[in-house]
Amino acid sequence: MANFDSTQFVKSGVPLGGIGAGKLEIMPSGVLDNFTILNNFQKPLTNSTENEIIGLLGYHFGIYCRDNKKKTAKLLQTVKISQYPAIENIKYKGEFPFVYLDYEDKDIPLEISLEAYSPFIPGEEKNSCLPVTELQFKINNPTSRYIEAALLVNVRNIIGEWCVGRFNQVIDEADLISLNMLLKKHSPMDQAQGNMSIAVVKSDKYAVSYLGEYNLMPKPFAFNKEEMRLEAFELFSQEGELPNINSEIPVSSESVELAGAFSVKFKLKPKSRIKIPVILAWNFPLCLDGHVYSNYFKSSREAVHYFYNNKKELSEKTDAFVGQLKQLNIPEWLRDALLNNLYTFFSSTIWTKRMSFAFLEGPQVCPLTGTLDVRFYSSVALALLFPQLELKELMEFAQTQRADGYIMHDLGRMRLDLASVSTNRFYWKDLNSKFILMVYRDYLWTKDLEFLKKLYPFIKKAFYWLVETDKNKDGLPDNEGADHTFDLWYCYGASSYTSSIFLAALLSLIKIGQIMEDKDTEQVAAEYFKKGKKNFEKKLWQKTHFIEYNNRNNRSSKGLPKISIACTVAQLTGQWYAHLLDLGYIVSKEKVKKAIHTILELNAKDSPYGLTNSVYPDGERDNSCLHSANIWVGINYSFLSLAIYEGFSKEAQEIGKRIWSNICEKEKNVWNQPDIYSSSKGDYLFGDHYMRNLAIWAILFALSKKDKNIENFLNKFKKEVLQVKTK
């Protein structure tokens, strides 16, 4: 499970932010880290290294207490900064979009915890894109005596690409006191231009004091954790107070890392507790054509006020969503994985002022927007929870369609207006089929007929492009290399992966033709399906499974076998989607069950960490490439869904638990998952914050076929969230 403590080397933390707003992470060591709020998706702002989690220097919390004249002050983190004392341990629980920290130290007689979150409310776009996080500290006095205490909140001004011109402004209002981080003059092309605000909610239970500005860098040209100076903590350590100084004078020289701080001081009676809400917000508008949040807020202060004024509703609705999921009668690992795999909504999304939306495939190593072959898997969660965004993004893909009918691979690299064919120059044979299936799914779930009508011409062109790829007229597309989502893995002729998805797309096209009252298209699709199904079984079935590919007359596979009899995890991906959309069987039901049994016997037994993508019938791993020899997490989840549909629920859930255990317990990297990890060692190989792994939500749909409570949970979204109209 996603529970850790600060003694463990945990490589990522729960991201806090909003959909398309960028994020920051709270780490189990108590530090804030990996900021991407400054439009720096590819290069998170951090002072950490590969071997040491330091966090972003300047963002720190601290505690002061006076107990029987004994004074204690420590930073609420286990990472040692300069000469300043840190606490002993932190217990950490991640439950997206919430994170919980319990601070432990024998010298501090108080019980201190932190609950942080950013709003995530399915169906509510505005309230889920807020560039805001709340940090609520809870401090309890378990003793039988009065204790005087204070909380320190220290922040660093990171506005702009250069320190000169930065200044801090403290504003004391009726309900809030805020420290606003600003820059005197922005460079026109500086993507880090903007502002940040951190505010303490005022209360008669405590007094707030501040230090508006000071320099974290005592030595010129030296800013590191060994030499950094926390002047605010030094003052705070004396009496738990700060001097209420704020000059608003801009930085005028280099070698200044501008910081500011609040102290929140209070006295706790015996057996009493206090809550201190802190709100952090940001506004960095220069991203592509802006952030969607710029339609609602002109500054970070406005975002703070919006959150404060709607605080109760935002919290209750976010908590209600999490609570409903937690009430389902599903294994603990699955509940944990369903929630925590949603993290990519905060870490990996772009949502512009003009309302264009897309997931980034992998923000750091592969920042392609949308990536159609991958969203085929991930968009199961998007279409369920935020259907408006799903419909918008799929319409944008329709607009990329080439004159010949080919749907493009992505919408652009860190942009949404320059689509590309693929990652490797091939025209991929799985994209058009996936597009058709996603359009039908979105209509089926939303009942938005206008959406279907708008996309129907694109669907027909996509289908006829696929027909042209069927060179030998056997009713199946012909693969010609690595022309599919496995873009290093070559196959030729009829492949089980591409062809199974094509057959499912044909079944959906038959349904679409009926809805659109287009009998010609319906008939053509039905005839193609009949031929394709027959040849899929004839050419690819081999006693126990559907083989990887079969082309005995290939012309371009020099040096490669003309037939691959390997058993692949993804051989019946089309059947998974057919079940998801209640389309029936694409091939013989008996052969589907037999193939699943074989995959469980071969691919699942090849690795203790999940299902290896490709294994030969004799049990030998297919080492022909990086993709064949290893585990793709999202592909695994789609297969497990298929296995559950077909009655292998126990086996599927056992494998799912192994996968999640590797992510949580061995790799300890829940909130920065890859696409691929090693079959041999379980370590991460490729991808960051990878969106495909949202396919785990498909498991819930499979389980709903036998569980009325899960079915009701999903139906709730279909009634309350999914019934929308395109704008």
Strands (E), 433-561: 479-481, 491-495, 547-550
Q: Which helix (H) or strand (E) holds 437?
A: helix 431-446
Pairing mode, if any, of strands 357-362 and 349-351?
antiparallel
Cα atoms in the Cβ-side hemisphere of radius 13 Å centred on 403: 0
At residue 724 the predicted structure's pLDDT band, cuts being 50, 70 and 90, is very low
CB 318 within 8 Å of CB 121? yes
CB 240 within 8 Å of CB 150? yes
pLDDT recorded at residue 725: 43
| CA-to-CA separations, 665 to 1, 32, 343, in angstroms, rounded | 7, 22, 18
Neighbours of 16 (CB within 10 A): 27
Cis peptide before 367 (omega within 30 of 0): no
Q: Which CATH architecture has domain 356-711?
A: Alpha/alpha barrel (1.50)
What is the C-alpha to C-alpha distance for residues 154 and 152, in angstroms, rounded to an integer? 6
Q: What mean pLDDT value characterizes the chain?
A: 95
Residue 359: is its pLDDT beyond 60?
yes
> For the chain, what is the radius of gyration of the CA atoms?
27
CB 608 within 8 Å of CB 534? no
At residue 726 the predicted structure's pLDDT band, cuts being 50, 70 and 90, is very low
Give per-residue pLDDT as tens, 402-460: 999 999 999 999 999 999 999 999 999 999 999 999 999 999 999 999 999 999 999 99
pLDDT recorded at residue 497: 98
Question: What angle in degrees, to the nearest 10, is found between the helix axes of 332-340 and 649-661?
Answer: 60
**Spatial CA neighbour of 700 closest among 165, 448, 337, 224:** 337
Segments of the chain assigned to CATH 1.50.10.10 = 356-711
| CA-to-CA separations, 571 to 496, 568, 597, 638, 641, in angstroms, rounded | 5, 5, 13, 11, 14
pLDDT recorded at residue 559: 57
Supply the DSSP symbol for 664.
Answer: I
∠44-13-129 over CA atoms, to 5°?
Answer: 70
pLDDT over 70 percentage in the chain: 98
pLDDT recorded at residue 613: 98
At residue 503 the predicted structure's pLDDT band, cuts being 50, 70 and 90, is very high
In CATH terms, the fold of domain 3-319 is: Beta-galactosidase; Chain A, domain 5 (2.70.98)
Supply the DSSP symbol for 477.
Answer: P
**Spatial CA neighbour of 723 closest among 446, 443, 439, 334:** 446
Pairing mode, if any, of strands 147-156 and 258-268?
antiparallel
Supply the DSSP symbol for 294.
Answer: G
DSSP states of 368-393 as a string?
A: EES-HHHHHHHHHHHHHH-HHHHHHH
- Which range is least confidently modeled, 230-234, 373-377, 451-455, 552-556? 552-556
CB 147 within 8 Å of CB 238? no
What is the C-alpha to C-alpha distance for residues 700 and 645, in angstroms, rounded to an integer? 11
Segments of the chain assigned to CATH 2.70.98.40 = 3-319
Residue 346 corresponds to which amino acid? F
What is the C-alpha to C-alpha distance for residues 131 and 128, in angstroms, rounded to an integer? 9
Residue 692: is its pLDDT beyond 70?
yes
At residue 553 the predicted structure's pLDDT band, cuts being 50, 70 and 90, is low
pLDDT recorded at residue 558: 55
At residue 660 the predicted structure's pLDDT band, cuts being 50, 70 and 90, is very high
Residue 575 corresponds to which amino acid? Q
Residue 81 corresponds to which amino acid? I
Residue 413's beta-bridge partner residues? 368
| CA-to-CA separations, 695 to 258, 356, 468, 640, in angstroms, rounded | 43, 22, 30, 10
Give per-residue pLDDT as tens, 234-283: 999 999 999 999 999 999 999 999 999 999 999 999 999 999 999 999 99
**Spatial CA neighbour of 120 closest among 105, 130, 110:** 130
Backbone phi, then psi, for 500, in 5-degree steps? Answer: -65, -40
- Which range is least confidently modeled, 61-70, 241-250, 561-570? 561-570
Supply the DSSP symbol for 685.
Answer: E
pLDDT over 90 percentage in the chain: 94
Residue 646: is its pLDDT beyond 50?
yes
What is the C-alpha to C-alpha distance for residues 524 and 508, in angstroms, rounded to an integer? 13
pLDDT recorded at residue 385: 96
